[in-house]
Amino acid sequence: DRSFIAGIDTDPGNLAIVRAVVGIGSGFNATTLAEGIETDAQLLRLRQEGFHEVQGYLLGKPMPLAEAERLIAGGGVVASTAA
């Protein structure tokens, strides 16, 4: 969750929660997903902690449905000119 990810490097409690989630997922042989990744440092830290699935603004910005469908279909992202 973004609230834990945001303070992963500054709050020992957040890091403990992140490690616990990875441990629980690993114990059940389940895929864990970290969300709310906004910086390269967060992504690197989460990779080091064992997360293999991540999502967040760093990796993909919100977009209109039609644009998302084009991206999924392999058409790429079209730059938006809307303000």
pLDDT means over runs of 10, the chain (83 residues): 86 92 92 92 93 90 89 70 44
Range of the domain at 34: 2-73
Question: β-pairing, 33-35 with 53-55?
Answer: parallel
Is residue 81 a part of any domain in this protein?
no
| Residue-level pLDDT at 80 | 52
pTM score, whole prediction: 0.74
Question: Does an H or E element contain 55, and which?
Answer: strand 53-55
Task: Tell me whether residue 8 is in a domain.
Answer: yes
Residue 58 located in a structural domain: yes
